[in-house]
Structure 1
Amino acid sequence: MLKLKFDPNQQYQIDAVQSVVDLFEGLLRQADAALLQAEIVPNLPPYQVLSEEWLYDNLRRIQKRNGIEAPLLGSLEVDEGMVLEGAGYESWRYPNFTVEMETGTGKTYVYLRTIHELRQKYGFGKFIIVVPSVAIYEGVIKNFQITRDHFRALYGNETVNLIPYDGQRLSQLRGFAASTFVEILVMTLDSFNKKSNVIFKPSEKLPGERLPIQYIQETRPILILDEPQNMESDKAKAALRTLHPLFALRYSATHRTSPNLVYRLTPFDAYRLNLVKKIQVLGVTERENFNETYLHLVGIDTGRRITARLRTNVLEKGRLKEAEVTLRQGEDLFDKTGREEHRDAGWRVNEIHAGQGFVEFENGKRLTLGQYIGPRREEIFRVQIRETIRQHMQMQQKLQGKGIKVLSLFFIDRVANYTDENGIIRRIFDDEFEKQKRYFPFYQNMRPEEVRGAYFAKKKTKKGEEFMDTSGRNKAEREAEKAAFELIMKDKERLLSFNEKTCFIFAHSALREGWDNPNVFQICTLRDIRTERERRQSIGRGLRIAVNQDGERVFDEDVNILTVVANESYEHYAATLQSEYVE
């Protein structure tokens, strides 16, 4: 079985680890012997505090070393306030330290290695990795598993235990608290951000006077916050304080705030150092002349005034997006869309006829209910999917001799467009795969259903199991996400092997963060990518450096190219993307 290999000598990762370790320069290593008989083994004794003035002096020295221009605040930034309402009445104060690393550069590796270094130098042993989603929760567990042997070799077989928190197994918290080894608890924010969570209630699994949460609090844990920008609400901050942390380490590529920034690896740094794939963008809408006017008459409403509802492309905050607009007689389409091709082009409504079901414009164009002008969505999907398959097969033909298996990832607009019996996206993919495979021997004997895989959550309803768009809007849906990720996160190595035929992966929102695979070479966006943060999260799924069948990274600029097949014009998509690196 293919096994991923890790290089312990990547200087930028060593620098990130050392920047955190050096924050505590001058702290004596905790003596294990004095704690062996204790019922709870904390990171520091209850009476010992970390001086904020000392930490601030160390922070400024590290920032200067790393070329970080931070404001001269004169004191450490700390979080202070009440714990979660209903879970206690005390306030808590602790510092956060921020590490910013571009997606695909080994953020999880860095914080796992940091845990080992903090243990080795200072004797710290109680860590909690807090994550905002099930996707990242499973990703952390997977990363711990695949790096375990690597870290054992680096750190003299140090015993490090990972405990995936489970509210049904609260007795694990006693083991976490009493252990003299390194213990890492992995928790989703949802498991302790409500007073109704079982962690705040007495349990027969933990007899005695302590509540489950108190076993954690008394260890004075060190928090590792993975993607903390998703944990910045007042409620989330109160929940984190309820853990009574000694301090917190924040890791992300897309921080909203960066308190006490100690290390930064920007997108520009990652590109300059060849740590991630280069990106090329294919804007199929432009290449296929899909920037012509697109109009679809959705409906005609007869209220106080007759109006027509149309779907078209509108310009919003400099970005082109499909949206529904409402027009009355005499109104101009340009006023609704802001697109230059609609200005002074006769797109003022001349007549709306509810009885006959049409709208007519001054330029003579007439649309009946359900009729389209311009490219249909199905045509755009087909061009994008065809181009992605072609790019994929060409890339596989190029890299097969290097032992690299190529993967493609599709972000689709609606789960039903893939899962329905006659789902438009699956139907188009199967058709285009059959057409393209004739030109590529590697795929000639494969069927489309063998090479495509989809990862969507299911939930049980009265009608049976139903797929859904997985954005985790309620508890039932988050549970369904968790079930889906059981499949996703545990097969990374198998997906990289030529023994596994699956190489085209379809997802909605489930894979936008928390999942990545080094051999994703094509990302096809069959849905709107709405924000800069979402764009970076989505594209980040394919930024990692590729690996071969021996599990080794292949550092070759001709290999490491990520192609984004976009549903926006090339100029807009590329300009928006590149502006991040210029900034």
Structure 2
Amino acid sequence: MELILQQQLPHQQKAIDAIVDVFKGVHITTPIQFYTNPIFSLTDTHILDNMRTLQRDLPTEYRSNNPIDTGDYLNIDIKMETGTGKTYVYTKTIFELHKQYGFNKFIIAVPSLPIKAGTEQFLKDPYSRRHFTDVCGYGTEIEALVLEASKNKKKGRSYFPSVISDFVKGSSQNRKKIYVLLVNMQLLTNNQKRNGRDTGLLWRDDYDYGLEGFYKPFDAIASTKPIVIIDEPHRFSKEQKAFKVICEKIKPQLIIRFGSTFPENTKGRGKNKVIVKDYQNLLYDLNACASFNQGLIKGIAKEHFEPVSKKEEKVKINSIDSKEAVHFQYKRKNDSTKNFTLKTGESLAIISEAFEGITISAIDKTSVEFSNGLNKKVGEELDVDIFMTSYQEQMLRLALHRHFETEKENFCNRNYKIKTLALFFIDDIASYRERDSGKQPYLLTIFEKLLKEQIEKTISSLNENDVEYREYLEASLNDLASCHAGYFSQDNSDSDEAIAEEVQVILHGKKQLLSFKNENGSFNTLRFLFSKWTLKEGWDNPNVFTIAKLRSSGSENSKLQEVGRGLRLPVDENGNRISNEEFTLNYIVDFTEADFAQKLVEQINGELPQGTTISEEKLEAIAKKLGKTSDELFDELYDKHYIDRHNNIKPEKRNDFFTEYPDFEIGLSAGKIKDRNVEKTKSIKIRKTVYNKIKELWEIINRRYLLFYDDDLNDSIEDIVLKLFEKEDVFTKLVMSSERKKVMSTGSEMIVIRKVRGSI
């Protein structure tokens, strides 16, 4: 399959136009050197005038708090939420700046290798190149030059980096080529002094030959007067070395920061301390609220597993010491984590009284046997009650239920199918990857068992029209191992060919993951992906519909960053992105994040401007909606003391104002982020006098019992149960009775004339 890119999407084109329009009327000078970008003056008044005009569309708070500033370079900020096409936008911006103004030297700076790999793939992929050439009609192409770290070599000649040579030597007079240098943060900052000299790839000046008179790569790059595009600006704060290197060593004319998250600055002290976003000349703001409300990304349905005990606590088997002691970690919601170490024969009641009567029977290298006959592996998390249910198992079960619920809908109920993927974040690679021991890891064992059960259950629910989906599921059932794959940071140094193939597909095989068929025509059933946190920024797939977080993120990360891998709108089997429907990302967490949905909504709304002033544009738009003139609406609001003469909302009347005039309020629309665990409370009235009569019986029948049986009985239980049903003295016979009445009219009334009773 080929991915089909769309052009002229309004939310993307606005960002491109905003950048391009900054240079309207600006005098741009043809460079003297062939390798240099066209040059503009930072003092050209058109730049400031254009940016002020463009900022009129922004909330007043962003305009007033962020005055136009230039300095040694021009900075432009573009805020776009994850999943809205940031890479596409800055790539098309490159083409437009070249087409309209002749700029052809660009540097894309990214914070990590996964983002670098994703950007390189997009720039070089044939479907992208065809889109910009054939669909957009640009008569030029991008030459993507990817800077890699130099490998240790034996002593000998030291060559100037060839990628830098190709970038610098690219002629600005060649209208058919745009030169784009792709570099990750680490390459910008890596440098060590040796005998007083710089040794970093871009820092050193002792190469055997120079380039256009330059012996230091940084100097050669700076001579091109490049435009720098920074992806994920929150990773490039202005206090960090990487940003300073860009400004001081590369010396760009223009820096364009593209991101969903920007750095934060702290202003003031004590009670006056405030945290503000580090926006500098923000020209476009496609925030999370707008992205959700406009249907540019998937909605989110958060769900956490609720154990039978209803207790928000769990115990994890952390590690084992030489078959002698077991280290447990006890976690309860809104309480600090506690650690316990127990030996053979000791009671788990030390951890929680819910384990009363359960002791440790035996310990081996990787597992623990308890006195109730259960055997649990290192890394497993247990529900805190006598059942000791595997917490991860129940989360996996819930995630698979949601996955197949979505998959069936995407496969059977549309004209063009959607390949449905699920992503699992796990705590430990050893719970999934099989190592030298030859034993299958416990989490993988549990997953394949649950996967088999869920596939069989789904097959049984299909009707005669679901022929192809049945075949797809049967192919999955016949080879469960082909349905899942994993990627972990350790995999980069692993020599196992099977693991290398998995990594290749996950990191670079986006189109393969989206396809239902392999090249040989067989079903491609790979759709369940496992990782730790390696698949973070820089990796995404539009068809991820379920994310199960079986591990803690370990920090107070941005909630949006956590779900970002699954926010993009999906593509169908033909590569078309589907933007005219509403889709939902299933997000499965544990009880420690039961308030995830609430916090996410608070984060999204919290990043919006406070709306202390009503813009003239907003006043006019709402007045038109209400069938009034803007003057009439202003007078109305002023007379009610909601605003002053300068359109400022009076703080003491703010809540009343938004209640009476909700059109002025900004925030996330209802239903975009849902919490599946929140249900309406159902009240049941109990008649106390009646309850007291049955209280003793009620308490007896509500006791919970835990039954254990030997594994050897598995094969014979079915036969035993069937024979029980066949015995006449075990169950009473089933009797069905019926009554038939015949109704006849006498002319003046209807009467029953006959009753027939029968039984079988």
TM-score range for the pair, normalised by the shorter chain length: 0.7 to 0.9
SS in 2 for 1:255: coil
CA deviation after TM superposition for structure 1 residue 380, in Å: 1.4
Percent pairwise identity: 25
CA deviation after TM superposition for structure 1 residue 295, in Å: 5.0
- Structure 1 window deviating more from structure 2 (538-547 vs 369-378): it is 369-378
Encode CA deviations 1:76-132: one digit per residue, 9 max, x unaligned: 3457xxxxxxxxxxxxx3232211111110011111111111112211111100001
How many pairs are equivalent? 511
CA distance in 2, matches of 1:412, 1:161: 39
Contact 1:282 1:566 in 2 (8 A): yes
CA deviation after TM superposition for structure 1 residue 230, in Å: 0.9
SS in 2 for 1:136: helix
CA deviation after TM superposition for structure 1 residue 160, in Å: 1.9
Aligned with 2:545 (options 498, 503, 521): 521
- Alignment correspondent of 1:389: 400
Contact 1:458 1:484 in 2 (8 A): no
Counterpart amino acid of residue 9 in structure 2: Q
CA deviation after TM superposition for structure 1 residue 137, in Å: 0.1
- Alignment correspondent of 1:498: 516
Question: Within 5 Å, which residues of 2 pair with 1:157-196?
Answer: 157-168=139-150, 170-179=161-170, 180=172, 181-195=177-191, 196=199
2:19 equivalent to 1:9:
no
Distance verdict in 2 for CA 1:155–1:298, change over 3 Å? closer
Question: Within 5 Å, which residues of 2 pair with 1:287-326?
Answer: 288-289=308-309, 291-294=311-314, 311-315=329-333, 323-324=337-338
Distance verdict in 2 for CA 1:361–1:504, change over 3 Å? closer
Contact 2:542 2:571 in 1 (8 A): yes
Contact 1:225 1:248 in 2 (8 A): yes
CA distance in 2, matches of 1:53, 1:281: 50
Distance verdict in 2 for CA 1:167–1:365, change over 3 Å? closer
Encode CA deviations 1:276-307: one digit per residue, 9 max, x unaligned: 111111211x26545344457989xxxxxxxx
Provide TM-score, normalisation by structure 1.
0.78
CA distance in 2, matches of 1:314, 1:491: 40
Question: Within 5 Å, which residues of 2 pair with 1:38-57?
Answer: 38-44=33-39, 49-51=41-43, 54-57=46-49
Aligned with 1:238 (options 234, 241, 244): 244
RMSD, aligned α-carbons = 3.5
- Alignment correspondent of 2:221: 216
- Alignment correspondent of 2:604: 581
- Alignment correspondent of 2:76: 97
2:160 equivalent to 1:149:
no
2:446 equivalent to 1:428:
yes
Distance verdict in 2 for CA 1:460–1:164, change over 3 Å? closer
- Alignment correspondent of 2:669: none
SS in 1 for 2:202: helix
CA distance in 2, matches of 1:565, 1:510: 18
CA deviation after TM superposition for structure 1 residue 68, in Å: 5.3
Encode CA deviations 1:203-234: one digit per residue, 9 max, x unaligned: 23646543222221001111110001112243
Question: Within 5 Å, which residues of 2 pair with 1:370-409?
Answer: 374=384, 379-401=390-412, 402-409=416-423
Contact 1:176 1:183 in 2 (8 A): yes
2:538 equivalent to 1:557:
no
- Structure 1 window deviating more from structure 2 (565-574 vs 126-135): it is 565-574
Contact 2:66 2:281 in 1 (8 A): no
Gaps of 5+ in 2: 151-159, 192-198, 264-277, 320-325, 361-367, 371-381, 460-469, 518-523, 607-760
CA distance in 1, matches of 2:547, 2:343: 43
Distance verdict in 2 for CA 1:444–1:25, change over 3 Å? same
Encode CA deviations 1:385-415: one digit per residue, 9 max, x unaligned: 1222222222222111432111111111112
Distance verdict in 2 for CA 1:215–1:265, change over 3 Å? same
2:57 equivalent to 1:65:
yes
Gaps of 5+ in 1: 80-92, 300-307, 328-351, 468-479
CA deviation after TM superposition for structure 1 residue 577, in Å: 2.0
CA distance in 1, matches of 2:95, 2:351: 69
CA distance in 2, matches of 1:101, 1:532: 22
CA deviation after TM superposition for structure 1 residue 570, in Å: 7.2
CA distance in 2, matches of 1:575, 1:297: 30
Distance verdict in 2 for CA 1:310–1:12, change over 3 Å? same
2:562 equivalent to 1:538:
yes
CA distance in 2, matches of 1:359, 1:383: 23
CA deviation after TM superposition for structure 1 residue 194, in Å: 2.9
CA distance in 2, matches of 1:143, 1:516: 12
Contact 1:132 1:227 in 2 (8 A): yes
CA distance in 2, matches of 1:21, 1:212: 29
CA deviation after TM superposition for structure 1 residue 525, in Å: 0.6
Contact 1:410 1:505 in 2 (8 A): yes
CA distance in 2, matches of 1:496, 1:460: 23
Encode CA deviations 1:543-566: one digit per residue, 9 max, x unaligned: 1111111111123435x2111111
Contact 2:66 2:279 in 1 (8 A): no
Counterpart amino acid of residue 184 in structure 2: T
CA deviation after TM superposition for structure 1 residue 11, in Å: 0.6
CA deviation after TM superposition for structure 1 residue 50, in Å: 1.6
Encode CA deviations 1:409-467: one digit per residue, 9 max, x unaligned: 11111122111343222111111111111133231232221110111233688xx7599
Aligned with 2:259 (options 235, 252, 256): 252
- Alignment correspondent of 2:533: 509
CA deviation after TM superposition for structure 1 residue 377, in Å: 8.9
Q: Which has the larger radius of gyration?
A: 2
Contact 2:546 2:586 in 1 (8 A): yes
Counterpart amino acid of residue 428 in structure 2: R
CA distance in 2, matches of 1:96, 1:377: 57
Counterpart amino acid of residue 422 in structure 2: S
Aligned with 1:113 (options 89, 92, 111): 92
CA distance in 2, matches of 1:580, 1:358: 40
Compare relative contact order (CA 8 Å, sep 6+) and give the higher one, 1 or 2: 1
Aligned with 2:474 (options 420, 432, 444): 444
SS in 2 for 1:162: strand
